Structure 1
Amino acid sequence: MKRIISVITFFLIIAIHLIFLTSILVEKVNEIWVLLGIILVTSLITYAYYHSTTDQEDHFLADLQDIFYIAIGGIFTYFLSVELKLGSVIAAGIVGTVASIPPYLPKNSKIFRRIPATVYCGAFVGMSQKTLASGYSFILFACLLTGILFIGSKNLFNGYGGKLGTLAFGGVAFTSLLIYLLV
């Protein structure tokens, strides 16, 4: 079952990348060769994924903690950005810097080593502008969706840059889509 969730999450991440990059290309560049290049690179990444081994581990409580830490990062970043008017980049920087401290407190704690990446992933969600994110309920729901994507992609794209931002973008984009469809 974990393998199926992992594969579905992988294709969701690929779809998020394709939709994001395609929208940029259609909006800014009308060159078909660039789009074909992106599709080729995405196909090569997909091929490489299926030829790599991933160890699936089942840690339900740790997964719930990850969602909680993502929500903490999202809420604090949004608060610093919107309520204190620090701006989204400064707010995410502050949250990321504070989140990097816990692993140094008790050096052998596995829980504290998980905090920086998850909180920083939530910080990307919290960077949403006030015009898009209508409030803290939007941020919390986007953090929940981002947490689900985070859990599903735990053993995917390790060592590649942009994973946390992509997951946050996916959570915010899906939340915006759901609000658009329901309202």
Structure 2
Amino acid sequence: MPHWRANDWSLPRPSVVVGFLLLAVPPLALFGVGVWGTLLPRGHVVLSPILAAGTLAVGAGIRCEWWELRRVIRDGAVVVDGARWNLVAVAGGTLLTVAGATELGLSPIVSASLVGVGAAVVVQRVAVPVYCGAFVGMTSPEVFGSYWQVTLAAVLAGLLFTAAHPVFHGLGGKLGTTAFVGVSLVAVPTAGSFQRGALPGESAVVSVVGVAALGAVVTFAIHTRAAASPVLASGVVGAVGGVLLPLVFGHSGRLFAAATYSASFAGMTDPRRIPNEWWLGVTGVGVGLVVVYTLPFVGGSGGKLGTIAFGASLGIHGTLRLVDLFQLVRRGYRAPAEETT
């Protein structure tokens, strides 16, 4: 449609590099913070090596994606279709989610999930940026005390959405990480007060990991086997979990709902990145552990759950790529220079 072409943006190479770096740092940082969380008084130090290995895997995933970034840089400028409409969509998703939470009394998870479902059904062409904006809108009022802050965060997330368009394709949690960066850029300078959650008991940790694994697998199955869009699949899983889990499990159900919703973002991953439900279940386990052990840090920040899912997806994808490369090397294959530098 011509009116979309008029809103195309041509991205210079430096902006793509900045977008890549802004998305690469937060998941690595949150996984590192998760290791710290296992060392706190109610933490489980036995899990420290597991989360430390996960942090290294996230780094490996980022390193693999660096090859794709180099290809983008080598090819020159990138044209993003409908970039101005994407900015409007991110802002719209943000304000709709805030309205659902403040005016209708919905939980942030349910509000964002319904915005995602609505966008996937009504405005499919911009459903992805709308869903990105919904994650900005999940930010707690303790972090953003005014509409100008949340609007500014939405604008910054929208700009990053465009700048990072050519990189990290098909990895679940990218939208949440985009929102998290926008929120952080506004919250930190304006002295936003992040929430600090308490670490749960051992039995709750096991339950969180279980529901996260299930949430990732179910979301992946819905969008790969039922031909639903990833946004619709995540929105449905988030809405169902956000309503039912708190009703059934009370206060603990809120944590279960958060883990389920976070894992649903991992379930949005393209099967060319993570191939099947088995590996998505492993990804969900990583999501659940990091959700638990980052509870004392940057709570109430929109996009945090997505950033955790992004890190887990990066870690599994990077691990699988390194295993494939190792097997090829054993068979006598030599990687091209761009994959070894």
* Normalised TM-score (structure 1): 0.82
Which residue of 3, 8, 17 maps to 2:27? 17
Equivalent residue runs for 1:115-126 within 5 Å: 115-126=126-137
Instruction: Provide the rounded CA distance (Å) in 2 between the counterparts of 1:4 and 1:40.
Output: 27
> Does residue 219 of structure 2 align to residue 180 of structure 1?
no
- Post-superposition CA distance 1:84-134 (Å, at most 9, x none): 21111111122111111235xxxxxxxx52x10000000011111121121
Shift of 1:179: 0.8
> Does residue 101 of structure 2 align to residue 100 of structure 1?
no
Q: Conserved in 1, the CA contact under 8 Å of 2:116 and 2:130?
A: yes
Instruction: Provide the rounded CA distance (Å) in 2 between the counterparts of 1:5 and 1:39.
Output: 26
Q: Conserved in 2, the CA contact under 8 Å of 1:82 and 1:130?
A: no
Q: Conserved in 2, the CA contact under 8 Å of 1:14 and 1:42?
A: no
Residue 212 of structure 2 is matched in structure 1 by none
Identical amino acids, percent of aligned pairs = 27
Aligned partner letter, 1:63? A
Change (3 A) 1:16 1:44: same
Which residue of 26, 30, 33 maps to 2:36? 26
Instruction: Provide the rounded CA distance (Å) in 2 between the counterparts of 1:35 and 1:175.
Output: 29
Shift of 1:153: 0.9
Aligned partner letter, 1:121? C
> Does residue 187 of structure 2 align to residue 165 of structure 1?
no
Aligned partner letter, 1:136? Y
Q: Secondary structure at the match of 1:58?
A: strand
Equivalent residue runs for 1:8-157 within 5 Å: 8-29=18-39, 33-34=49-50, 36-52=52-68, 53-54=71-72, 56-59=77-80, 62-103=82-123, 113=125, 115-157=126-168
Q: How many residues align?
A: 171
- Post-superposition CA distance 1:36-65 (Å, at most 9, x none): 424432332233223234465334x82222
Instruction: Provide the rounded CA distance (Å) in 2 between the counterparts of 1:128 and 1:28.
Output: 25
Q: Conserved in 2, the CA contact under 8 Å of 1:81 and 1:87?
A: yes
Shift of 1:34: 4.7
Aligned partner letter, 2:23? I
> Which runs of 5 or more residues in structure 1 are unaligned?
104-111
> Which runs of 5 or more residues in structure 2 are unaligned?
1-10, 40-44, 193-341
Residue 5 of structure 1 is matched in structure 2 by 15
Q: CA RMSD in A?
A: 2.3
Higher mean C-alpha deviation, range 169-178 or range 29-38 = 29-38
Instruction: Provide the rounded CA distance (Å) in 1 between the counterparts of 2:67 and 2:34.
Output: 30
Instruction: Provide the rounded CA distance (Å) in 1 between the counterparts of 2:102 and 2:140.
Output: 8
Q: Secondary structure at the match of 1:51?
A: helix
Shift of 1:13: 1.2
Residue 109 of structure 1 is matched in structure 2 by none
Aligned partner letter, 2:115? V
Aligned partner letter, 1:50? W
Q: Conserved in 1, the CA contact under 8 Å of 2:35 and 2:48?
A: no
